Amino acid sequence: MTRAVVSLGSNVEPERNLPTALARLHRQPGIVVVDQSRCYRSAAVGGGPEFLNAAVLIETRLGPAQVRTLLRGIESGMGRVRTADRNAPRPIDLDLILYEGFVGEIDGTMIPDTDIGRYAHLAVPAADVAPNWEYPSPGSLLKTIAGPFRNHIEVFMSSDISPGPGRYAPEQGMEATADEIHDPEFEATVRSMLLQLGEDPSREGLMRTPLRVAKAMDFLTSGYTGSLEEIVNNAIFESDMDEMVLVKDVEFYSLCEHHMLPFFGKAHVGYLPNRKIIGLSKIPRIIDLYARRLQVQERLTSQIADAVDQVLEPHGVAVVMEGSHFCMMMRGVQKQGTSMVTSAMRGGFRTNPLTRSEFMELIRD
């Protein structure tokens, strides 16, 4: 994984557009947002409405050109049209200003951004998230470069904007707090849905429902923003053990991609070690990584098996999942006692009937 710093700025409805951009950045596959600066208010360089600015430190396997293309896609989706006028008001600016190990030009823009040493709205937020990053010109740490600028930029301290994580984090909690905004665009969508259902989003019981739904959906789909490497976190250990390892009855919860209704149940994962074993807690975490996405149970089962196979390279992997689906229980045929069983067998579990039978017998006990 490579580190990079992305600068964010807006001077068109910035209190709405900046947190929206932050939320969208968090949801991008291939990017992990590691840290985030405070939000700052600054004058526009060429005159016009003042900006709100921030920066994020990311980790990614994407190259600098790919990250740049991804940022332009977010901008376009938010209505930003880039013109020759560099001082034109804009709903959002997303710029790759630092990329670890890279010095060069992409589409006419230098990385590292040469303006970091000239402007407070770039230097100060970047120093918040990467203070010890060495900027090649003038050859100082970012915190040193940003020091003289800090008296010339204002921290934006309004409760109306939350340049927070933009996705659910356990320490935040799922409940709504007064004046909190999590994802303005998503919350507006939920309000629209409530209106279409004939409800009144302004009544007491529903006033904070859009926020709660936005945070809940971010949590339930947080698997999109995780990575297998991040989950495993080097918890692979050498071992001479050559007998089956089984983790069974692991609860899982997911969302059916056809109706976005829950399905849930238990997963059983076994593997035949090939001189490597994995930390016990990592198997449930791998299950959650793929379950917290819009899914079908068949694909989910295969993805878990492939992930264990990838990180351990064992002699075999077996996954069996038993799930109950609300799309069948609450609607459609409305059958409450049914369950779905799926399996994925790799290596020795697929080729050796005795090994497969042993696994199936163990999960039945």
Catalytic member of 50, 172, 313, 327: 327
Q: Is 121 a catalytic residue?
A: no
Q: Is 295 a catalytic residue?
A: no
Cβ 265 vs Cβ 291: under 8 Å:
no
Q: Is 258 a catalytic residue?
A: yes
Q: Is 105 a catalytic residue?
A: no
Q: Is 268 a catalytic residue?
A: no
Catalytic member of 180, 259, 313, 358: 259
Catalytic member of 66, 152, 258, 298: 258
Q: Is 39 a catalytic residue?
A: no
Catalytic member of 36, 297, 303, 315: 297
State how beta strands 134-135 and 340-347 pair: unpaired
Catalytic member of 251, 257, 298, 310: 257
Residues contacting residue 242 through CB under 8 Å, at least 6 positions apart:
272, 273
Catalytic member of 256, 298, 336, 361: 256
Q: Is 172 a catalytic residue?
A: no
Residues contacting residue 239 through CB under 8 Å, at least 6 positions apart:
273, 275, 276, 277
Catalytic residues: 256-259, 297, 325, 327
